[in-house]
Amino acid sequence: MKSSIGICIIGVGRAGMIHAQNFRTNVPGAKLVAIADPGDGTAAAAARELGLKKYYLNYADALGDSEVDAIVVVTPTAYHKEIAVAAAEAGKHILCEKPMAMDEQECDDIIEAAAVNKVKLQVAFMRRFDESFMQAKEVIDSGEIGDVVLVKSLTRGPSVPHRWMYDINKSNGPLAEVNSHDIDTLRWFTGSEFASVHAVGGNYRCPEALDEFPDFYDNVVMNATFLNGMQGSVDGAVAVNYGYDARVEILGTKGVIFLGRVHDKAITVCSGKNGVVRPVMNSWRNLFKSAYLAEDIHFVECIQRDREPKVTGYDGKMAVKVVRAGNLSIREKRIVQLQY
């Protein structure tokens, strides 16, 4: 095994640049050797920022680079399957951002390609690498709060969706783009698979999408049952005006765990002019900065030590399965039973 794993980031938007900066300086045993993005200006600007001499406008050219041992897929979801399968066939290890793909068949295609070509496949559910989330899982497993009864998880973000996200057929909507993390969190903390979902959605903050994309929802609530009898709830929203909000509540028979915070810094200012003021968390990039780094470190360690990643293609597929069921529930206004 090479002493240094050559990394190429495919897609250098916000999340792509987080991974790129991590691999550039902070991941032992890894070296950022290239980036790929179809936008010439975007790719060139990112390469300058990262101090890279090499960038590609076509991901296929990056897969032909002998310096590249592994890729991070951070493109719109519709391209994940094509890129990940091609990467596996080129012998490159894969860290794939969520959502893993558009549907379960695409997930299966990625999983099969990785297995056949003997490359690592990790799905980027970074909350599993967050210190507080990992501690909560330990508390659950210890039995301290008794048997888990209910897991409620919410994610609300300030960003207005990109136009392509308004088309549910191309993005799978906020349940995929925003709430994939919540869905994975519920699976992780219940230790079970979703049995049924009932979701409702509405467009309250994105009027520009109403005429062309009447099915788009910027607010969603999804209640769920699990195969082991536990209950769950997911709450998602985009274009909120108050900040970035990611919180979880885990109710057991003997106690409860609260995860997450709305506030950014541990400072509160009280004055006669403004009253009580405390900074609000403004971005997932700040809240989960350490988790992103831990996730990237884990990916390289799995390659170097030939280990199975903590978050597998199966985990990615199950989240996609629930997203699709949730969208069906919204569309047909009914409870959807998941089949296994």
Pairwise CA distance, residues 62 & 39, whole Å: 15
Task: Please answer whether residues 167 and 304 qualify as being in contact, where contact means their C-beta atoms are separated by less than 8 angstroms.
Answer: no
The pLDDT assigned to 267 comes to 67
Based on the domain organization, do 183 and 327 belong to the same domain?
Answer: yes
Residues 105 and 143 in one domain: no
Same domain, 77 and 138: no
Same structural domain for residues 67 and 146?
A: no
The CATH number of the domain holding residue 262 is 3.30.360.10
Range of the domain at 198: 128-287+319-337
Q: How many domains does the chain have?
A: 2
Reply yes or no on whether the pLDDT at 1 is more than 80: no
pLDDT tens-place string over residues 117-168: 999 999 999 999 999 999 999 999 999 999 999 999 999 999 999 899 999 9
Same domain, 219 and 73: no
We report the CATH number of the domain holding residue 29 as 3.40.50.720
Cα separation, 164 vs 77, whole angstroms:
11
Q: Are residues 101 and 44 in the same domain?
A: yes
Same domain flag for 297 and 280: no
Percentage of the chain modeled with pLDDT above 90: 87
Q: Do 248 and 113 share a structural domain?
A: no
**What is the spatial distance between Cα 90 and Cα 178, in angstroms, rounded to a whole number?**
31
Residue 276, SS3 per DSSP:
strand
Instruction: Say if residue 15 is in the same domain as residue 109.
Output: yes
Is the whole-model pTM more than 0.85? yes
pLDDT tens digits along 255-314: 999 998 776 665 676 768 888 777 676 655 566 789 999 999 999 999 999 999 999 999
- Indicate if 55 and 196 belong to the same structural domain: no
- pLDDT at position 40, please? 86
CA 254 vs CA 143, 150, 250: distances in Å: 9, 12, 11
Burial of 142 (0-12, 13-18, 19+ CB in 10 A): exposed
